[in-house]
Amino acid sequence: MFCKNCGSQMDENAVVCVKCGAAKGSGNAFCPNCGQPTNAGAAVCLNCGSALTATVSGEAKSKLVAGLLGIFLGSLGIHNFYLGYTTKAVIQLVICLVGSCLIIGPLVAGVWGLVEGIMILTGKINVDGKGNPLKD
């Protein structure tokens, strides 16, 4: 898999490109299959024949819903469950529940959720767990 923004190789599980910082699936200058430059507006890569238009699997998740869930219920990881980031959501939930006797667990998880909620609403996090873009 290659970054559609800069053309550098990316790990399949990466959320952002480590070279340019672009979110997975964002950009249209390079082919995600072979990493070669593409023509603006092209439907397929002229080098490898791979489709360049994103195919959305299922309905797009709402940026507003995800952001508000992150702000208000972020300590429980609800926004990450909604977006399909199940592993991260379970980690937030465990930190909140196990750390509840220490008070610091819910505080850490709450700040983490608040920050992610703001990042979702500002567009810093703009794809769901499957790499599909969030709708406005």
Over residues 91-133, the pLDDT tens digits come to: 999 999 888 777 888 888 999 999 999 999 999 999 999 888 9
Same domain membership, residue 81 and residue 38: no
pLDDT in tens, 13-55: 888 888 898 888 787 888 888 888 888 777 788 888 888 765 5
- 66/29: higher pLDDT: 66
My answer on whether 116 and 97 are in the same domain is yes
User: Does residue 130 form part of some domain?
Assistant: no
Is residue 49 domain-shared with residue 88, that is, in the same domain?
no
**3 state SS of 124:** coil
How far, in Å, CA of 127 to CA of 31, rounded? 18
Nearest to 128 by CA among 71, 89, 90, 75: 89
Classify residue 135: in a domain, yes or no: no
Same domain, 100 and 74: yes
Whether 118 is in a domain gets the answer yes
Domain extent at residue 33:
1-55
Predicted model pTM? 0.59
Query: Could you give the CA distance from residue 42 to residue 65 in angstroms, rounded to a whole number?
Result: 32
- Do 44 and 73 lie in one domain? The reply is no
